[in-house]
A = this chain, B = another copy of it.
Amino acid sequence: MSTTTATDSNTTPLEFSSVFADLTPHVEALNACLRDQVAQFEPEIREMADYCIDTSGKRIRPALVFLSGWQDEAVNPELVRVAAVIELVHLATLVHDDIMDGADIRRGRESATRSFGPEAAVLLGDALFAHALHLAAQFPTTLVCSAVAESTRRVCAGEIIQTLRRGTTTVSREDYQRVIDLKTAELFRVSCYLGSHLAEFSEDYVTAVTVFGRQLGIAYQIYDDLADFFGQESKIGKTLGTDLGSGKLTLPLMELIEASPENERASILAEITGDRAPQPELRVTQMRELGIFGRVESALEQELFIAESALDQHVDLPPVPRLLSLISILRSQVASLRPNIKGKLPVGGT
């Protein structure tokens, strides 16, 4: 699978979805499985659930399941089922996230909370969670149920900690790392674990790919936090600049604060605590001037380095070249955000 390098600024970067070239039959089987699951819901909520499982999503976690457990082209029904479980959990967290964020847009259209109201959205998320676990319980042993339930709890814990820290300015880098480890890396990790385990790979490889998944998840969240400032709304499919507005102290903001003079620092902190109106456009301009993008990119690179290294001993296994291509794709996506490539201010107010 060819990938665009970060320096190849004339080429359109590969989307995450390009990794699906070989995965088309797997993803079709996944989508059919998800539709089939939603058909088991009570009629009143079927339409709402259908709305959430729409096929425009990137399906990154299912891709990790399929690729970690890749033996050959054949579609393994166990992997399809476990991919559906994890995607349902992920979709449930998105529904609840959007309530937290008051987000109106998700994947380029109205969020569930906007369409159905936050009250129904709380319950719809619950129903998706519960159904995911019900599907997980259909495996012959309790392994999938146990792993997914534990991961789900950790994802929620990450989100809670993030919510509790909103508007506070004492978040350390360790706190940030821990939150993204819980809220994002956990499902990446469990996807790789279950994909490789159910495909009956060696314990050594299962351990290695689980580390890979976790690191890729951390890197992906850093990319996502970068995209919140440097992305294009039409491409990311969600409202931009929400992190500053909602008092979330992410890595780009931490770097900006550190690099800013004393008086400017106070005013950024006041935007985070909600004592001043947020000025995302000004902050992006400052990030450009102070080279914040490069700093964040290098933090992200460190995570990708650990991810790559984890697979060093297993390069001959069929999944590994495919998994490594995910790293290249993420790199090219990060590169596509780089301010000097864009040459224009990408943040639009919403």
Which A residues contact B (CB, under 8 angstroms)?
41-42, 44-45, 48, 92-93, 96, 99-100, 117, 119-120, 122-127, 129-131, 133-134, 136-142, 145-146, 148-150, 152-157, 159-161, 163-164, 182
| Closest residue of B by beta carbon distance from A96 | B122
Q: Does A137 contact B129, Cβ atoms closer than 8 Å?
A: no
Q: Does A164 contact B44, Cβ atoms closer than 8 Å?
A: yes
Q: Which of A156, A159, A164 has the most CB atoms of chain B within a 10 A radius of its CB?
A: A156
Q: Does A136 contact B145, Cβ atoms closer than 8 Å?
A: yes
A185 CB to nearest chain B CB (Å):
15
| Of B125, B156, B164, the contact of A127 (CB 8 Å cutoff) | B156
If the complex has contacts A44-B160, A161-B42, are A99 and B122 also in contact, measured as CB distance less than 8 A? Answer: yes
If the complex has contacts A44-B160, A153-B131, are A123 and B138 also in contact, measured as CB distance less than 8 A? Answer: no
What is the copy number of this chain in the assembly?
2
Q: Does A156 contact B119, Cβ atoms closer than 8 Å?
A: no
Q: Does B125 contact A100, Cβ atoms closer than 8 Å?
A: no
A327 CB to nearest chain B CB (Å):
29
Q: List 12 A-B contacts (CB under 8 A).
A: A42-B161, A45-B160, A96-B122, A119-B163, A120-B160, A120-B163, A126-B126, A129-B129, A131-B149, A136-B145, A137-B149, A139-B142
Q: Does A152 contact B138, Cβ atoms closer than 8 Å?
A: no
| Closest residue of B by beta carbon distance from A121 | B122
A184 CB to nearest chain B CB (Å):
15
State the CA gap A41–B44 with chains docked (Å). Answer: 34
Query: Which residues of chain B have C-beta atoms less than 8 A from A154's C-beta?
Result: 42
State the CA gap A141–B93 with chains docked (Å). Answer: 27
If the complex has contacts A160-B44, A161-B45, A164-B120, are A153 and B130 also in contact, measured as CB distance less than 8 A? Answer: yes
A100 CB to nearest chain B CB (Å):
5
Q: Does B127 contact A160, Cβ atoms closer than 8 Å?
A: yes
State the CA gap A4–B218 with chains docked (Å). Answer: 61
Q: Does B125 contact A153, Cβ atoms closer than 8 Å?
A: no
| Closest residue of B by beta carbon distance from A132 | B149
Query: Which residues of chain B have C-beta atoms less than 8 A from A161's C-beta?
Result: 42, 44-45
| Of B42, B93, B146, the contact of A137 (CB 8 Å cutoff) | B146
Query: Which residues of chain B have C-beta atoms less than 8 A from A146's C-beta?
Result: 134, 137-138
Query: Which residues of chain B have C-beta atoms less than 8 A from A123's C-beta?
Result: 96, 100, 156, 159-160, 163
| Of B120, B140, B157, the contact of A41 (CB 8 Å cutoff) | B157
Given contacts A126-B129, A136-B149, 20 further A-B contacts (CB under 8 A): A42-B157, A42-B161, A44-B157, A44-B160, A92-B126, A99-B119, A120-B164, A123-B156, A125-B126, A127-B160, A130-B153, A130-B155, A131-B153, A133-B133, A134-B150, A134-B153, A136-B145, A137-B142, A139-B142, A142-B145
A305 CB to nearest chain B CB (Å):
28
Query: Which residues of chain B have C-beta atoms less than 8 A from A141's C-beta?
Result: 142
Query: Which residues of chain B have C-beta atoms less than 8 A from A48's C-beta?
Result: 160
Query: Which residues of chain B have C-beta atoms less than 8 A from A148's C-beta?
Result: 133
Nearest 5 CB-CB pairings of A with B? A137-B146, A134-B149, A130-B152, A130-B153, A133-B149
A45 CB to nearest chain B CB (Å):
5
| Of B42, B44, B119, B159, the contact of A100 (CB 8 Å cutoff) | B119
